[in-house]
């Protein structure tokens, strides 16, 4: 008999099942070969957690985010929110989903009419979803401004009058206006100065706690991911190659791609540099992805089996960690730079590492009233 007790498994708030997304290659775009943006991606986001998706540019992070929020349809596969499929949702159900699943973009004003005032930007969803009587809307917008650390007096200003950090606060306020259950940040801080990034990250964390939100964060910045998230999915060319709780993932990455990503973070000692296997070459063309394991063309550990057979995303330990590599056990057994003991951190700490500490120490992060 198994010694492992079967603990009740909570139902995920959001689940992607075998998601595939191809762009082009069909309909009137049939002449163009299809871009394989997502290839059989399955994941579960638990209520109240911060789930991060990380990977190099073009690996499909944003596409996954959009498919999960039903902003674009998957070519095949299914997304479920609170146990129900969202693809078939119609009418009032679809509207409710639109409200409950909100996205914060890198530049929240990119797709918004620049002639709308900040107050109108934040208030529009309240009106669209009929969330407050007209007489209460202005006060609700003022409350949302305060919630994200902005003075309500700024409501009548226009987007160009705000700094990058303030614009992002307005984007967050607009998302909160919908009274969401889940917030997806698509590179929510990558356009901001490093010092402002920390404030926005702290604001998101604070809001998550205060409002009981679930956060999904799509980002390429590992410092942000490490600071914010409870679990991380690492994507490569449209597939999840590793998924794990944050600390084990950073302490002991199992997939060679995750190792390479981690090793690309500047280390506090030159000792580690000798062991690095930095990523060489570009991500292959997603129109014609490599056979088998898609990472085999850049993997320092690749063997013939890797180009012939796609590795399954298998469970690696009791924490539910998953990894898609034929040889992850052998690679771990052989030892990697990631398993070397860290020398005492002293000299020349990278700005990012310093920032990471600063983030840990600094809370909360409200905008200072001007
Ligand atoms: N609307 C589209 N039409 C055609 N191809 C697309 C479209 N959107 C994304 N792609 C392609 O799908 C692949 C995945 O793109 P995606 O934007 O999801 O990646 P990403 O990891 O978010 O990258 P980045 O961080 O640069 O945005 C890329 O090759 C991209 O060119």
Per-residue tens of pLDDT for the chain, all 370 residues: 334 444 456 789 999 999 999 998 766 655 678 899 999 999 999 999 999 999 988 899 999 999 999 999 999 999 999 999 998 788 888 888 889 999 999 887 787 788 899 999 999 999 988 899 989 999 999 999 999 999 999 999 998 899 999 999 999 999 999 999 999 999 999 888 888 898 999 999 999 999 999 999 999 888 889 989 999 999 999 999 999 999 999 999 999 999 998 877 655 545 444 444 556 677 788 888 899 999 999 999 999 999 999 999 999 999 889 999 999 999 998 875 443 333 333 333 344 455 555 555 554 455 544 4
Q: Is the CB of 106 under 6 A from ligand 1?
A: no
Give the integer Cα–Cα distance in Å for 66 and 211.
23
Give the distance (Å) from ligand 1 centre to CA of residue 58: 5
Provide the token pair at 324: 């898609």
- Cis upstream peptide for 364 (omega within 30°): yes
Give the distance (Å) from ligand 1 centre to CA of residue 81: 24
Q: Which residues of 340-358 are buried (b: 16+ CB within 10 A; e: fewer)?
A: eeeeeeeeeeeeebebbee
Q: So what's the ipTM on this one?
A: 0.97
Give the distance (Å) from ligand 1 centre to CA of residue 37: 7
Bridge partners, residue 45, by sequence: 14
Give the distance (Å) from ligand 1 centre to CA of residue 332: 32
* The pLDDT of residue 248: 93
Q: Which of 25, 55, 60, 71 to mutate to test the pocket of ligand 1 (most atoms within 8 A of CB)?
A: 60
* The pLDDT of residue 24: 84
Provide the token pair at 325: 């590599």
Which residue's CA lies nearest to atom 18 of ligand 1?
60
The pTM of this model reads: 0.85
**Domains of the chain with CATH codes:** 19-82+184-193+216-364 (3.40.50.300)
């Amino acid at each position: 008999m198994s010694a492992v007790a079967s603990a009740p498994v909570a139902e995920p708030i959001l689940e992607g099942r075998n998601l595939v997304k191809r762009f082009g290659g069909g309909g009137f775009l049939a002449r163009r070969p299809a871009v394989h943006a997502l290839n059989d991606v399955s994941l579960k986001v638990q209520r109240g957690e911060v789930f991060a998706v990380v990977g190099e540019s073009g690996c499909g992070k944003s596409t996954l985010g959009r498919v999960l929020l039903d902003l674009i349809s998957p070519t095949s596969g299914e997304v479920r929110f609170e146990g129900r499929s969202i693809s078939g949702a119609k009418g009032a159900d679809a509207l409710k989903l639109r409200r409950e699943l909100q996205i914060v973009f890198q530049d929240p004003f990119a797709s918004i009419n620049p002639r709308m005032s900040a107050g109108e930007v934040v208030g529009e969803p309240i009106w669209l979803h009929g969330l407050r009587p007209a007489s209460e809307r202005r006060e609700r917008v003022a409350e949302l401004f305060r919630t994200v650390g902005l003075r309500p007096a700024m409501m009548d200003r226009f987007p160009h009058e705000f700094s990058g950090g303030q614009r992002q606060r307005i984007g967050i306020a607009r998302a909160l206006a919908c009274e969401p259950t889940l917030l997806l940040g698509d590179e929510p801080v990558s356009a901001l100065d490093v010092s402002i990034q920390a404030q926005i990250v702290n604001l998101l964390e604070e809001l998550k706690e205060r409002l009981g939100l679930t956060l999904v964060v799509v980002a390429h910045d590992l410092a942000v991911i490490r600071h914010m998230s409870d679990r991380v999915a690492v994507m490569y060319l449209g597939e999840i190659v590793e998924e794990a709780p944050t600390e084990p993932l950073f302490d002991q990455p199992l997939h060679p791609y995750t190792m390479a990503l981690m090793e690309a973070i500047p280390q506090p000692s030159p000792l580690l540099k000798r062991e690095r296997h930095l990523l060489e070459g570009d991500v292959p063309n997603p129109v014609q992805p490599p056979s088998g394991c898609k990472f085999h063309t850049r993997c320092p550990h690749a063997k013939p089996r890797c180009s012939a057979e796609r590795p399954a995303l298998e469970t690696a330990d009791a924490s539910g960690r998953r990894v898609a590599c034929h040889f992850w056990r052998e690679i771990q057994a052989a030892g990697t730079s990631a398993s070397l003991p860290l020398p005492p951190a002293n000299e020349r700490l990278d700005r990012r590492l310093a920032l990471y500490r600063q983030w840990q120490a600094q809370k909360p992060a409200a905008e200072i009233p001007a």
